[in-house]
Amino acid sequence: MSGEGKVVCVTGASGYIASWLVKLLLDRGYTVHATVRSLDDPKRTEHLLALDGAKERLSSFEANLTVDGSFDAAVNGCVCVFHTASPVIITSVDDPKVTDPQAELLDPAVKGTLNVLKSAAKVQSLKRVVLTSSIATVMFGVKLPESGGVVDETWFSDPVTCEQAKWWYQVSKIQAEDAAVKFSKENGVDLVVINPGYVIGPLLQPTINFTSDGFMSLIETGKEIFPDGINITVDVRDVATAHILAFEKPEANGRYCVVRDVVRSSEIMMILDKLYPDLGYSERKLLIRKCVEALPYSVSKEKAESLGIEFTPLEISLNDALESLKEKKFLNP
């Protein structure tokens, strides 16, 4: 196995992407140091401890993003740190959701990223840090391409526009990625950044995460996930795989947009209607914005595929996501 004898750290290990990352790392033979906010909370630990290989090669550490030195013990002796931990609260002028953006989003994202990198920089065995960023740092607050245009890793969101729109999640990811790149250059840390789209697929954790909740709301009520009805989607298993390949491939560098599909909500509903014709999705499709014109843009897969990623078809991601939501009793069948 490619990871045999190698020790890596995954921050925020109980989360949606991170849980799959831990699973796939264990499957590849890695020894994993997993950080969680509380070791006393079974919702953050039990699903990780139940993974194959966890008994032999998983160690859990309690760490807090805003506490200096909190990650020192977890990253000690590691060859790679996968920093996934960051709050996810999508905000807007019309639906702010947070009362204190600085405390609830910006500080945990930016200070937390720097705390993890400071701990990592002390470790002589460290080869690379892989940062979980977001498509939010790529294409928000900028003029998107005309019909047929392509967005890629050279695009950067406009922080001023995002702040003015009170898109605090986007601001937090922009600031965290910028801080990570600056610190890494100044301190000689080899950093690779993963920028996934809207992540869907099956859940390992016992709690529902933001993106799965949005997907569930779409199929139950027809409520759009995004105001324009366009979804930049990717399977959670592909995102986890991208992180691992970003470490294992020595030539990996810079940012990677990890996106499988750019699709309208109506297309998602039509796929689900074919998969589950008896569940009433046809009626809910009527609530979705009817839009038949071509999508205005796509997101390049070229650099991500250069890592060796084979993207999961959208139909499989949607089916597995829905089955997982039903199995965990989040979605009423």
Return the active site residues.
173
- Distance between CA 276 and CA 139 in Å, rounded? 33
Q: Using the 8-state DSSP alphabet, how is residue 137 labeled?
A: G
What is the DSSP-derived secondary structure letter of residue 37? S
Q: Which strands sit side by side in the sheet containing 31-36, from one edge to the other?
A: 58-62, 31-36, 7-11, 80-83, 128-132, 191-196, 254-258
* Class of residue 178 by CB neighbours under 10 A (exposed 0-12, middle 13-18, buried 19+): middle
Residue type, 27: D
Angle of helix 265-275 versus helix 314-327 axis, rounded to 10: 70
Q: Name residue 234's beta-bridge partners.
A: 199
Distance CA 288, CA 286 (A): 5
Bridge partner residues of 58 (DSSP): 32
Contacts of 182 (CB under 8 A, 6+ apart): none
Here the tokens at position 256 are: 């990677």
User: Helix or strand or coil: residue 192?
Assistant: strand
Strands 58-62 and 7-11: unpaired
CA distance 317 to 275: 12
Based on its alpha-carbon atoms, the radius of gyration of the chain, rounded to whole angstroms, reads 19
3-state secondary structure of 30: coil
User: CB neighbours (10 Å) of residue 214?
Assistant: 18
